[in-house]
Amino acid sequence: MRLFMFIVLVTAGPGLPSCSKPNPVVCCTSPADCNSLGVTDTSRPCTDGFVCIDHECSTAPPVDAAPACTVDMDCPNNTPRCASSQTCVQCLQSTDCTEPTPVCDTTSNTCRGCTLDAECTSNVCDTSAGTCVDSSNVVYASPAGADAAACTQGDPCSLAHAVAIASPTRTNVKLASGNYVANLTIAGKTIRMLGTGATVTAGSGSTGFEINDGADVTLIGLNITNLNTGNPGTAIECQTLAHGTTPKLSLQKVTIDAMGMGLLTYPCTATLSEVTSKLRDPSRYQIYALPPSVVNVDRSSFDVGDGLAAVGADSVISVRNSIISNMNVTGTESSLIGGSFLGDTAVGTATATFTTFVNAPLRCANGTPSCIAGGQAVGVCVRDSILLTTNGTDVATGAACQAYFSIAMPQSGQLTGTNNLVNVDPMLVDVANRNFALKSTSPAVDAAEASAMDPFDFLGVPRPQGPLDDMGAFEYKP
């Protein structure tokens, strides 16, 4: 009987289903892992071709798959954490990451650079580098902060005191959310002021911010208001004092709401990116650049005022991917000008590319501008833009305004330049409600010059979406 049973087992063996997991069925990969099973082995490996997953030998994953694991100790150094999917990953939370990639992307479980202040324990991210700024390099301010406070993360001080103690080793000034009433002067210092959620309101003085004496100042995310009515002055002044070094100013995602002038430079090198400026008085300049100032503007919006003025032979204003609207049309100035006397030797230069002008007509003299691509512009030079008024006023007067590859409506007089669409409706989505995007049927779509090669529009949409870039500040996206 025993022999019969043995024969049955042997002859029946080949017909049995094959085993997908070799012995031992139970496996473990480290002393701690084995100990969790109650065994004393340092490991119970699987045979070749199988891996230990959830204490069972299973078919090995593809070569490029993440290593399998049950605990962190199962994972290699480059992917040291064991995720709930039982695969080894780089990180599960930001404490698993270090500079220069301090943030854990919880979707991919990989470490990356920071993009927001809130992703850093110091609450300050250097977005240009993607690294978190150490709190020892930050001066912290709050609306309720005292002048005598330490200006640390746990003991923030007043804004005025924060600016006063900023130094080469503490160049970052971090503003907590809220309203600050201050008239600030920053002289000879390098300061990067981060103020998302913060508003700086000018006090009784005429100017909100004064940047001078070779200072290098970056303002990020601030709301700046100057609503003084008696002597409204300027929201921001950037100036070189006698025998001083020309200061530098960078405005990033800053909003300006002012009764007086928006930005005055004399002289200064200024860069504006994603700035929104609205003035309360149409007779005040949005930007007034005295020589030898250089002002570069990108993806910004200017509403109400007497224009952007480059005054003097060495002053330059360059505008890209921006909106200029509701400018004063009753005076002799314009929404974008090269000086009060175009064609004279004292005239500055102003250029606008991929910009949308709405109810902001150009007012130029009869000088002769030069808009040679790649060369120094003289006068007012507009390219790949849209100029529209809704009250019947000509979009441009004077031969010193020159336009190329642009839409101009209406225009009864001369428009100097070539490849323009004159008295053609640009077909914007909703002008009355300030939606200046293009309809799909707009003649501005795919109508910019072929050599334009501009990477992004006002909203950051990549250009082109079709065979060519679109005219104006907005790229139509199907």
Residue keyed to tokens 């006002």: 458
Ranges 87-101, 166-180, 297-311, 356-370: which has the least confidence: 356-370
Q: What is the mean pLDDT of the chain?
A: 85
Evaluate whether 444 touches 419 at the Cβ level (below 8 Å). no
Highest mean pLDDT among 113-122, 197-206, 411-420: 113-122
Length of the chain counted residue by residue: 478
> Does residue 355 surpass a pLDDT of 90?
yes
State the amino acid at position 227 in one-letter form: L
What average pLDDT does range 455-463 have in this prediction?
96
> Does residue 9 surpass a pLDDT of 90?
no
Higher-pLDDT residue of 109, 36:
109
What average pLDDT does range 16-28 have in this prediction?
52
What average pLDDT does range 124-134 have in this prediction?
92
The candidate with the shortest Cα–Cα distance to 45, out of 66, 63, 68, is 68
Q: Is residue 354 part of a domain?
A: no
Give dist(CA 225, CA 378) in Å, integer. 34
Q: Over pLDDT 90: what percentage of the chain?
A: 61
> Does residue 210 surpass a pLDDT of 90?
yes
pLDDT of residue 336: 63
Q: Over pLDDT 70: what percentage of the chain?
A: 84
> Does residue 19 surpass a pLDDT of 50?
no
pLDDT of residue 337: 57
> Does residue 211 surpass a pLDDT of 60?
yes
Evaluate whether 139 touches 167 at the Cβ level (below 8 Å). no
- The encoded tokens of residue 223 equal 């709301």
Residues β-bridged to residue 187: 212
Q: Is residue 69 part of a domain?
A: yes
Give dist(CA 187, CA 216) in Å, integer. 9
Give dist(CA 131, CA 153) in Å, integer. 18
Q: Is residue 71 part of a domain?
A: yes
Q: Is residue 31 part of a domain?
A: yes
What average pLDDT does range 24-36 have in this prediction?
72
> Does residue 313 surpass a pLDDT of 90?
no
The candidate with the shortest Cα–Cα distance to 192, out of 123, 138, 238, is 138
How do 287-289 and 308-310 pair as beta strands? Answer: parallel
The backbone torsions φ and ψ at residue 94, rounded to the nearest 5 degrees and listed phi first, read -65, -20
> Does residue 172 surpass a pLDDT of 90?
yes
Give dist(CA 420, CA 238) in Å, integer. 37
Q: Is residue 176 part of a domain?
A: no
Evaluate whether 189 touches 166 at the Cβ level (below 8 Å). yes
What average pLDDT does range 396-403 have in this prediction?
80
Give dist(CA 241, CA 212) in Å, integer. 7
Q: 223-250: per-residue pLDDT in tens?
A: 999 988 777 779 999 999 866 789 999 9
- The encoded tokens of residue 63 equal 């070569």
Q: Please, which residues have CB within 8 angstroms of residue 236's CB and are 6 or more apart in sequence?
A: 207, 208, 209, 211, 224, 249, 251, 256, 262, 263, 264
The backbone torsions φ and ψ at residue 251, rounded to the nearest 5 degrees and listed phi first, read -110, 120
End-to-end distance of the chain based on CA atoms, in angstroms?
Answer: 82
Residue keyed to tokens 């314009």: 334
Omega within 30 of 0 (cis) for the link into 426: no
- On the CB side of 337, CA atoms within 13 Å amount to 36
Q: Is residue 344 part of a domain?
A: no
> Does residue 38 surpass a pLDDT of 80?
no
Give dist(CA 214, CA 180) in Å, integer. 25
Give dist(CA 461, CA 442) in Å, integer. 17
At residue 49 the predicted structure's pLDDT band, cuts being 50, 70 and 90, is: low
pLDDT of residue 359: 93
What average pLDDT does range 59-64 have in this prediction?
54
Give dist(CA 262, CA 237) in Å, integer. 9
The backbone torsions φ and ψ at residue 327, rounded to the nearest 5 degrees and listed phi first, read -90, 160
Residue keyed to tokens 């860069």: 271
Give dist(CA 55, CA 33) in Å, integer. 9
The backbone torsions φ and ψ at residue 136, rounded to the nearest 5 degrees and listed phi first, read -70, -15
Q: What is the dihedral of CA 404, 410, 412, 417, to 10 degrees?
A: 0
At residue 39 the predicted structure's pLDDT band, cuts being 50, 70 and 90, is: confident
> Does residue 335 surpass a pLDDT of 70?
no
Q: Where are the beta strands (DSSP E) in 91-137?
A: 103-105, 110-112, 125-126, 131-132
**Residue-wise over 339-352: b if at least 16 C-beta within 10 A, else e?**
beebbeeebbbbbb
Q: Counting runs of H as helices and runs of E as strands, what totals does the chain give?
A: 3, 42
Q: Is residue 309 part of a domain?
A: no
Q: Is residue 70 part of a domain?
A: yes
What average pLDDT does range 122-128 have in this prediction?
92
At residue 4 the predicted structure's pLDDT band, cuts being 50, 70 and 90, is: very low
Question: In total, how many domains does the chain have?
Answer: 1
Residue 36 belongs to domain spanning: 19-89
Where is 252: in which H helix or E strand? strand 248-252
Evaluate whether 157 touches 146 at the Cβ level (below 8 Å). yes
Give dist(CA 316, CA 312) in Å, integer. 9
Over its C-alpha atoms, the chain yields an Rg (Å, rounded) of 32
> Does residue 186 surpass a pLDDT of 80?
yes
pLDDT of residue 378: 61
Residues β-bridged to residue 370: 378
pLDDT of residue 427: 98
